[in-house]
Structure 1
Amino acid sequence: MASPSPKSPGQISDKSKKYDRQLRLWGDHGQTALESANVCLINATATGTEILKSLVLPGIGSFTIVDGALVTGEDAGNNFFLDHSKIGKPRAHVATQLLMELNSDVKGDYIEETCDQLLSNNPDFFCSFSVVIATGLTEKSLHSLSSNLWQNNVPLVVSVSYGFTGSIRLQVSELCIIESHPDNLLEDLRLDKPFPGLKEFMDTIKLPEMNHKQFSHTPYLVLLYKALEIWNDRHGPNPPSNYKEKEILRNIIKSELGYGIVKEEDSNSGDEENVAEAIKAVNTALTKTQVPSNVQKILNDDQCIRLKEKNSFWIIARAVKEFVEKEGNGVLPLRGSLPDMTSDSQRYIALQNVYREQASKDAEHVWRHVQTILKERGWAGESVIENDVKLFCRHSSELRMIRGSCLAEELDGKQLPPDVDINQQLEEPDSPWLHYLLLRAVNKFHTENGSFPGYYDDNVETDIAKLKGCFSRLLNDLGCQGGSLSKDDNLHEMCRYGAAELHAVAAFIGGCAAQEVIKLITKQYVPLDNTFIFNSVTSTTATLRL
């Protein structure tokens, strides 16, 4: 497989200077995906502009604001990008101009129409965007938008800042993630299933023939391998699996590997740094090499087996599945990376090359499977590129897949998850489910009354009674037996908010939503699944699966 063409020093330097920190998070390819994306924001509210700010700064390719409203005094009071001098002017135009000043690399556009007008006059308008972000929409408008985007497979991010409460709802039919960046990813060392190249390398290293300096600069991976050979001679081929067995292996490393290696007057091998590293790595480096359950689920998925459509992710996944069943002997392609360890440069690089060469061979096998799959189905060879196969193989143990649900179905009265006891949740004053239901009740109130509860000061008491009725009917619609439960204090608070969008809450929700948008675009890191609730009173967050 050909190596990727190196970028010129000028290109690397320019990007590194401007986007250095984020490049460390998602790399050149992630940045390229971001710079190629085109997002749409519906309504330049305080939350909406905060989201775009956090997308423009890292270099989103382009954005379009859809907003038919004019700037009001409320906007000037809570929106960082709007001031009193802009009152009466088109909100989309003003926000676009100011957001574009944040990054000259980003292109911005605006349309002075409402979401409903666009859906009515040009329903295909939203289908061209990488992601659509919605703020400040009524339940009716959200329903229409959700159905449209779900049918056209366009991700939707709905963000709400309502008083001291905020929420984010992600709608995505399917998201396949290659680089999930898990926090607890273990090294792929294959000590329990050494490949031929690793065996050959280890056989060339003779510990008893080394002097003190040579031994002390031997990679701890070698010590572990040699200790496992002793273990296998005494206990059989199965590596240590419990604390007692691992303790035996640690003692082998500490007391037996120094035999004939270090003279007594030189040092004790147990005091060496590489020995300490080997002992410490026993718990992590000797994990059983197998296909993780989440990856096995992807390889067994109907999309992977049947390949119903020409999708790069599923084509490579199918090729990896065939590799596991054939050349891989039940394991995934080797990752090919090594952790840092105490060693002289020569042996560390040699060991590193052993892993890299095997990873390259595994990726080559997968690439050949990809070509065969494409040929058998008559699909164009350029459907999958070599570098994508390499990336996929390198991160094959991290694969994640999310299949979401349609927001429109949720708004139609879809039942809540069966494992959630809503009656019990409602007994907790700060339950995220309570805040979710309160936001739903507020939207129901708007649908029935044409305004949000508490928006007009002279109707607060009446609105409280109406909102309480909306809340009870919502619970009954969702099949909850506690439809008559009273949450007067919470309902009073929702009315007291009067649909106010506080900038502090909007800024927090905006930053979180932008982060989720970047995950959707770069297909890196795992996005929330699928509803996020923020309670700014208690400074707590929660994720609900709906």
Structure 2
Amino acid sequence: MSMQADSTSERFARQLPIWGDYAQRLLQRARVVVIGGTSSAAEAIKCLALGGVGSILLVDSARITPADTEGNFFLPPWTVGEWRATALLRSLVKLSPTTRFTARLGTAQTLVNEWTTLQPLSMVILTEGTTAEKQQLAKFCWYSAIPLFIVSVHGFGGSLIPQFPERVFFRSTGLRPAVHTIEYLQAIRVMNPFNALAEWCTKRFWPLQQWSPSQLAAIPWPVLVVLALQQANRSMRPENRDPRQSTNTDRATTSDGCRCTEAEEREHRHEPTEAGGALTQAALPRERQSRGAGALLVPGCFSAVSGGSASEAVSSRIERALILLRKWEPSELTSANWNMAVAALQKLRTASTDPDPRIIRESCSLRNRQLTRILEATRAFATQHGWPVFSDLGELHGDPESVHELRRLYWEQAEHDIETIWRLVRADPMEAEAPDSISKELVREVCSNLFFMKTWRTQPFYCLFEDAAVEKPQLAPPTTAAQRRAASLFLALIAHECCQELDRTQQLVRRHGADAVLLEEAQRIARLWSWPPDLIDSVRLRHLAELFAEEEHPSMPIMLGSLAAQEAMKLVIQLFEPLTTILVYDGLADKADLLHPAVAS
């Protein structure tokens, strides 16, 4: 076992320092399907195999022609007449002894007909197919939650179109979030302080009348926010409640006047809870898909604050805390800590009262199993103790002893939360079979980034060509010069593909001329997307048509194939921001553009 691990570390020694052992294991478990035995497919498979992808299936139905051998380095001249899929893999299999290569004679339709949910796929890369096949495969992958990249090469032009329903990415390491973002304020738990923090703030600093103005100025700003919110709770007397409210909604009250949830009430009475039961009760709801709109419905989220009365109570509490904070601040005092405390409360006042991390609120169909289990355990933990504490407080000013003690409290609580969540994960019967599959370091990474994870969602590509109004994406018209250039290039490329496949194109060309037919098709697509018709004119279209009609430039499929493999590995390891826009490439001008309007993030 150790010899195999050493061999893997040696083979991937250049990339392991970039994304680490865990990401490399994700690649080794990945299953990628490449459709079409083109030069782009060969380059994509080469990059995926060298990167360590565990399983690659090539689906292709063509036999090798002399043109294939001239533009594909992996197909020698003597292979003419053989099946392209088997000959291509026979050359590529030498690149990686750890990758399982499989050839299947067929097309995109073959994958749609034969794939089942018992064969989980990490990615599909389509490099050859008609417009109808692209639409059908894109629709299938969208509803099956399988990421898809569509590579198109025509002469000196090409495009790479990404499509993945939704994906989660960790916050970039080394980038501390802005202090007064709502995510940061939720992560450090100033609205719902953990017990050790609340007790320390009260015992160490309350009442504030005992301190001189200079000492007040040295109190760290998170302490001021916690104290203000605590005293705001105490000042909101029970007799001020609406008597028409049902007594069944009242929960136990803590010593500082905060209303407890049912789980917190059990904890207040010191009633034990089982980890397994908590996980079962807090399981994430199953994802549902809207096949009419081509988008994922957001499931019901876990929330400690719900209903209009609760929102009003939170707003009143923050307003009261602001009043108290301004009342306590000495008139002669000018302190960065007090200014930051006021700014934090103002941010909380204007933000949503929903305290959940975005990763919990939003539907994410492409979470891997490890991430899903950690999030389930985190949610179970949150029902009893609140969300795990984010310990990176950034730069703090004030009394050095107080700052040091505050950092220590946060660090100890964060480590305690991580340990508890890790134990919840390991208590799962599924984890008992492979107890080392989810490490504590991965739990720490998720907990540390819980409020800062990013979710990306692209538009389903097949919608771009369908007239159904319910499925047509809302594409903002291109505005900048780069966007207009990219849009015109993409319109010309798509129109060129469509005209090549229309049975009536030959008749239309003889009747109206090739330029007129191509221009009409490009303008039809522009109208479908609600784009201005002046994005493309006959002169520009004629120039681009000449580029697309040229013999395929050798660098185009290599460039787009390697880029597709790179983006596919990004989605597998979930460490880098993916390409969420359509990339169009003009090889003659040696310039690539990103078509921003065609993708929704």
Using the TM superposition, give the Cα deviation of residue 42 of structure 1 relative to its aligned residue in structure 2, in angstroms: 0.5
1:420 matched to 2:476? The reply is: yes
Instruction: Give ranges in structure 1 of 5+ residues lacking alignment.
Output: 1-7, 202-226, 240-247, 253-282, 340-349, 453-457
Question: SS of the counterpart of 2:17?
Answer: helix
| Distance 1:334-1:294 versus aligned 2 partners, 3 A rule | closer
1:172 matched to 2:164? The reply is: yes
Compute the TM-score of the two structures, normalised by the length of structure 2: 0.61
| Distance 1:102-1:185 versus aligned 2 partners, 3 A rule | farther
| Distance 1:487-1:94 versus aligned 2 partners, 3 A rule | same
Counterparts of residues 140-179 of structure 1 (less than 5 Å)? 140-175=132-167, 177-179=168-170
CA distances 1:50-103 after superposition (whole Å, capped 9, x unpaired): 111111111110211111112223222322322333332221112111111112
Counterparts of residues 317-466 of structure 1 (less than 5 Å)? 317=375, 319-320=377-378, 327-328=385-386, 333-334=388-389, 357-367=412-422, 387=440, 389-413=443-467, 418=474, 420-421=476-477, 431-449=485-503, 462-466=513-517
Using the TM superposition, give the Cα deviation of residue 167 of structure 1 relative to its aligned residue in structure 2, in angstroms: 1.9
CA distances 1:295-342 after superposition (whole Å, capped 9, x unpaired): 8333333x59xx9x99764564455456567645xxx53466899xxx
| Distance 1:414-1:507 versus aligned 2 partners, 3 A rule | farther
Contact persistence 1:138–1:446 (CA under 8 A): no
CA distance in 1, matches of 2:5, 2:74: 32
Give the match for residue 359 of structure 2. Answer: 298
Contact persistence 1:178–1:395 (CA under 8 A): no
Give the match for residue 519 of structure 2. Answer: 468
| Distance 1:18-1:336 versus aligned 2 partners, 3 A rule | farther
| Distance 1:469-1:235 versus aligned 2 partners, 3 A rule | closer
The one-letter amino acid of 2:73's match is F
1:53 matched to 2:46? The reply is: yes
1:541 matched to 2:593? The reply is: yes
Counterparts of residues 105-124 of structure 1 (less than 5 Å)? 105-117=98-110, 119=112, 122=114, 124=116
CA distance in 1, matches of 2:83, 2:577: 37
Instruction: Give ranges in structure 2 of 5+ residues lacking alignment.
Output: 179-183, 201-213, 227-333, 395-404
1:184 matched to 2:168? The reply is: no
CA distance in 2, matches of 1:398, 1:228: 34
The one-letter amino acid of 2:72's match is N
| Distance 1:351-1:52 versus aligned 2 partners, 3 A rule | farther
The percent of aligned pairs where both chains have the same amino acid is 22
CA distances 1:265-294 after superposition (whole Å, capped 9, x unpaired): xxxxxxxxxxxxxxxxxx9xx999999999
Using the TM superposition, give the Cα deviation of residue 518 of structure 1 relative to its aligned residue in structure 2, in angstroms: 0.8
Using the TM superposition, give the Cα deviation of residue 17 of structure 1 relative to its aligned residue in structure 2, in angstroms: 1.8
Question: SS of the counterpart of 1:534?
Answer: strand
Question: SS of the counterpart of 1:129?
Answer: coil
CA distance in 2, matches of 1:50, 1:287: 51
The one-letter amino acid of 2:585's match is F
Using the TM superposition, give the Cα deviation of residue 474 of structure 1 relative to its aligned residue in structure 2, in angstroms: 1.9
| Distance 1:370-1:432 versus aligned 2 partners, 3 A rule | same
Give the match for residue 218 of structure 2. Answer: 231
Question: SS of the counterpart of 1:89?
Answer: coil
Which has the higher mean CA deviation after the structures are superposed, 188-197 or 524-533?
Answer: 188-197
Question: SS of the counterpart of 1:41?
Answer: strand
Give the match for residue 275 of structure 1. Answer: none
| Distance 1:15-1:37 versus aligned 2 partners, 3 A rule | same
2:562 to 511, 526, 530: 511
CA distance in 1, matches of 2:532, 2:520: 15
Using the TM superposition, give the Cα deviation of residue 521 of structure 1 relative to its aligned residue in structure 2, in angstroms: 1.8
Using the TM superposition, give the Cα deviation of residue 23 of structure 1 relative to its aligned residue in structure 2, in angstroms: 1.5
Which has the higher mean CA deviation after the structures are superposed, 384-393 or 286-295?
Answer: 286-295
| Distance 1:39-1:147 versus aligned 2 partners, 3 A rule | same
Using the TM superposition, give the Cα deviation of residue 509 of structure 1 relative to its aligned residue in structure 2, in angstroms: 1.5
Counterparts of residues 189-204 of structure 1 (less than 5 Å)? none
CA distance in 1, matches of 2:582, 2:482: 19
2:10 to 17, 20, 24: 17
Contact persistence 1:179–1:524 (CA under 8 A): yes
CA distance in 1, matches of 2:528, 2:579: 26
| Distance 1:126-1:316 versus aligned 2 partners, 3 A rule | closer
CA distances 1:190-223 after superposition (whole Å, capped 9, x unpaired): 799998999999xxxxxxxxxxxxxxxxxxxxxx
| Distance 1:77-1:528 versus aligned 2 partners, 3 A rule | same
Counterparts of residues 166-315 of structure 1 (less than 5 Å)? 166-175=158-167, 177-181=168-172, 184-186=175-177, 231-232=218-219, 237=224, 296-301=357-362, 303=363, 313=371
CA distance in 2, matches of 1:52, 1:464: 37
| Distance 1:62-1:231 versus aligned 2 partners, 3 A rule | same
Question: SS of the counterpart of 1:181?
Answer: coil
Give the match for residue 261 of structure 1. Answer: none
CA distance in 2, matches of 1:299, 1:404: 19
Contact persistence 1:532–1:541 (CA under 8 A): yes
Compute the TM-score of the two structures, normalised by the length of structure 1: 0.66
Give the match for residue 575 of structure 2. Answer: 524
1:73 to 55, 60, 66: 66
The one-letter amino acid of 2:414's match is A
CA distances 1:237-268 after superposition (whole Å, capped 9, x unpaired): 369xxxxxxxx989x9xxxxxxxxxxxxxxxx
Contact persistence 1:65–1:92 (CA under 8 A): yes
1:27 matched to 2:20? The reply is: yes
CA distance in 2, matches of 1:13, 1:448: 55
Using the TM superposition, give the Cα deviation of residue 382 of structure 1 relative to its aligned residue in structure 2, in angstroms: 5.8
Using the TM superposition, give the Cα deviation of residue 34 of structure 1 relative to its aligned residue in structure 2, in angstroms: 0.6
Contact persistence 1:16–1:23 (CA under 8 A): yes
| Distance 1:362-1:178 versus aligned 2 partners, 3 A rule | farther
Question: SS of the counterpart of 2:129?
Answer: coil
Which has the higher mean CA deviation after the structures are superposed, 64-73 or 111-120?
Answer: 111-120
Using the TM superposition, give the Cα deviation of residue 143 of structure 1 relative to its aligned residue in structure 2, in angstroms: 1.7
